[in-house]
Chain A
Amino acid sequence: MTKPYSDPYATLNLPHTATAAEIKQAYFALVRSYPPEREPQMFKRIRAAYERLRDPEQRAETDMLLLQAWPTPARRRRTPQPDLALQQADVIAAARALTDLVRSDWREHYEKVKL
């Protein structure tokens, strides 16, 4: 088990599209809720998340290190339905399975070669 993934936006309860002002606002709101003297661990996490997003350059780097979500499909696809009819191909396959077509041992057809 290696270091778990952490998303600083999630720590600050923000979407990835948050503006710099929103990031700052969220950070201060969380610091008020988790002051360092009472919640040192939580505060550390909040502070670390904020550090990764505060500076635009650092934020650009952080954004590239975020896991990407598979996009939700734009439209609903048609649910696949089973075809429960008898297939002609299967009828032919069944008939073929009664013939030499499915046989693999043909030793009786071998002929000795004499030179």
Chain B
Amino acid sequence: MAKTRKIVAPMPLAAGAVADRRQQGLRAFQNSRFDEAIQLWSPLAERDQQVRAALAEAYFRRALKPGADKLADLRQAAALAPNDARYQYHLGMQLHQIGELAAAIACYRGVIERGGPHGAALLLALATLEQRADIDLATLPGSTPELRAVLAPAQSLLQDRQPPETTEGGFIVQLRRTLGIGESASEAVAQLWRGLGQIAAHDSEAAATLGDPRSLPTPQLTAIRRNYIGVAAASAGDMDTALTLWRKVYDSGISTTALLDNLTAALYDRLSALLDADDQAGAVELALQTVALPLTNAALNELQVQQLDQAGHAAAIAGDWARAIVLWTAARQIVGANQGLGSPRPLWHNLALAYEAQERWLDAADAWRGMLRTRPRRRGGDQDDTFTEAQWAWVRKRVIECYKHAGRPDEAVTVFRQMIKAEPNDLDLRLQLADALMGNGQEQAAQNEVQRILKVDPHFADAQARNAILLAARGYLAAAEEALRDAVEHHPERTDLRSQLARMLLDHAIHYVERGFDAGAEPLLREGQGMEPTNEQFPLNLARVRLNQHRPDEARTLLDQVMELAGDRPEPYIDVFQCWVIEEDLDAARDVISRAEATFTPLPDFYAQLGILAIVETAPPPPMINPFLPLAALPKQPPPVETEWTTLGRELLARAVAGQPDDARLHGRIAAGLMGPRPDIAQVHADEVARLAPDDPDMLILRGVVLAMNERKREAKDQLRKAANVARKQGNRDLAAQADAMRREVDSPLFRAALQMRSLVEEFDDDIDELF
């Protein structure tokens, strides 16, 4: 059976409840809780005349409180008690304030008819005057000679006529009588009108007249007088005084268009004067102090932004990034308030870099995001965008990096998810989300997001590129390459995609070469070379394949190609040199050095690297350690063998050191590189390191280790002890403990054996590099 819902009619309040509400409302009213009183009384007002009057009073009293909706409350009060002249009077004033002159006039007339507050006649005359300056005030109800005298100066000035003589005794008396103010204040008002008349007549006496020190009866009049003293000063060419006075007027709460225009002109004038006097610091301070003023003049704002930006650059160059942030934030504030000034992009960019320098990562992320917002909306549209797609991608990556640094990689995900909610069809945003998910380690979610994009736009180049990265990360190299091939095919103009594909092919090929699968590597290298014919890594790795296949002549042609592509970059020459060292072709190796020297001036580091390679790559492998023999039976280091390669190596090291004989870093690099296979050669350089950097505990440790490798155990221990002491003195406890631990291990037969192992030596070499 269907249930029927019973409709209940609202019940009239019981007599007791009504009485309660009346009294509760009264208590609220008496405690100035007018909202509550209004709420309690409103339902009773229709039937209860007393409550109705009380409710009107509650609206009236609430209207007089700050923050109230004055007009609405006064209208309510006037509607509830239409015969109460007070409410009409205040409603009239409220309408007058907001420029509703006709409605205000109607209210004032009603007030006068009901014999309401005596100020109504003056206000009626004033409102009428504001409507029509030539009105005959004598025709208005309530008008008196005194009232007309009070308004006479204003009426004259509004009609572009000079005001009547206000300093006469009659005017002062009428002012006092009408306004109920003292003699001094009345005289000050009279002087003000006179001064304003002089301003209107461009009379230079205005400054003296307005300079009257007597107090005016209201702060509004004081502000007007101050403003026109500023005008008089500006007329006399004193813009500094004008600026100070106008600033004070603005600070007193006045912000008329004319005042803001004058402030703009004075500020521009002052800034220009400071710059003409080469006082850039003064100009920047002034720009900073006035940044909060709502002055939207393009010429002024440009000047302000230029000064703030230049000062920001200077602060950054001095390393004072905190100051730079203050300056660029101010500049951005100005640009944000004035659209005509152009894009805030450079300021966001600088702010982001400054926040990063301060390691304020969340702020930096916000600034990069601010920069992203400056990107033209339509992708591929005709809007001018000075940034390339790759640069925007860099910025997006940076947002994610900053959130990562802040320990909030999830925040980037949240941010991009929120953005997508607002614009679900924006594929760029979805791509940013995919990047953020990748940054947050959510590869599967990133992959899903990328697939969503590709479903909508299967040839969206950047989504295809991300897809390839994600596939490669999961080991699907062939699929990744296929995705990129498709992207390159559909976007031949995107060189970055070609580079990405080339790099991916190279990584894949190196992976094959390292595993001896030359046949798999070769086609990838050939394809990659087609993508990036100027990348020497392709002929270099093809040459390695050829050398593996014992086809040195073909390798030679390819390695020649590497050196041609290398130009003045030393690294490819080092790679080619290494190939010939491994191949043990001394002439070819020497030829590489000659070709490098003919192309550029090699630095000492270049020779050092070649020297180390020549010795390390041709050294016999360290003796095998038999784990089943006792430690004492560990094989001894074979005596060093001199070969044509060690001769070349020594020659190259000598050339390196001759270039920078006092460079501890260079000696350190050589000592660390050679201490495994040739501790005897390493010792010479380790000794130099300790001599050149006696207070550097890392250097002393290096020498200690090399001494131990040369079986000079006592000296090694002494050196390591000294290193620990120096480290301790410098407050580096960790390093001191490390030196002590090494000292205790020096006697162990495993110490040397462990260091001889190539991997360990290489690791140490990296540490040495980091020291510098």
Contact = CB atoms under 8 A, between A and B. Distances in A.
A38 B258 CA distance: 65
Contacts of B312: 67
Contacts of B305: 70
A82 B234 contact: yes
A92 B96 CA distance: 12
A2 interface: yes
Interface in B231-267: 231, 234-235, 239, 242, 256, 258, 261-262, 264-266
B319 A3 contact: yes
Nearest to B96: A101
A4 B346 contact: no
A24 B569 CA distance: 10
Nearest to B120: A100
Contact of A5 (B123, B266, B347, B357): B357
Given A60-B390, A82-B234, A92-B154, A69 B313 contact: yes
A88 to B, nearest CB: 6
Interface in B127-183: 129-130, 150-151, 154, 157-158, 179
Interface in B342-361: 342, 345-347, 349-350, 353, 357-358
A93 B64 CA distance: 21
Nearest to B86: A109
Contacts of A19: none
Contact of B126 (A3, A73, A96): A96
B298 interface: yes
Interface residues of B, number: 102
Contacts of B242: 82
B556 interface: no
Given A36-B603, A83-B262, A115-B23, A4 B316 contact: yes
Nearest to A98: B179
Interface in A50-103: 54-55, 60-61, 64-65, 67-73, 77-102
A77 B264 CA distance: 14
A94 B126 CA distance: 11
Contact of B660 (A36, A68, A113): A36
B569 A87 contact: no
A78 B264 CA distance: 12
Contacts of A109: 60, 86, 90, 117
Contacts of A3: 319, 357
A115 B266 CA distance: 60
The dominant DSSP class at the B interface is helix
Given A83-B261, A91-B157, A106-B64, A98 B119 contact: no
Contacts of A101: 93, 96-97, 123
A31 interface: yes
Contacts of A113: 26, 29-30, 53-54, 57-58
B189 A99 contact: no
B466 to A, nearest CB: 19
A91 B154 contact: yes
B754 interface: no
Given A1-B319, A109-B86, A115-B50, A82 B22 contact: no
A37 B262 contact: no
A28 to B, nearest CB: 7
Contacts of A114: 50
B747 interface: no
A4 to B, nearest CB: 4
B180 to A, nearest CB: 11
A39 to B, nearest CB: 12
Given A2-B357, A82-B262, A91-B158, A36 B659 contact: yes
Contacts of A102: 218, 220
Interface of B: 22-23, 25-26, 29-30, 50-51, 53-54, 57-58, 60-61, 64, 86, 90, 93, 96-97, 117, 119, 122-123, 126, 129-130, 150-151, 154, 157-158, 179, 189, 192-193, 196, 199-200, 202, 217-218, 220-221, 224, 227-228, 231, 234-235, 239, 242, 256, 258, 261-262, 264-266, 268, 297-300, 302, 305-306, 309-310, 312-313, 316-321, 331, 342, 345-347, 349-350, 353, 357-358, 390-391, 394-395, 398, 567-569, 600-601, 603-604, 659-660, 663
10 contacts: A55-B569, A70-B306, A73-B302, A86-B196, A87-B256, A90-B196, A99-B123, A99-B126, A100-B117, A115-B26
**Nearest 5 A/B pairs, CB to CB:** A68-B346, A4-B319, A77-B299, A97-B220, A95-B154
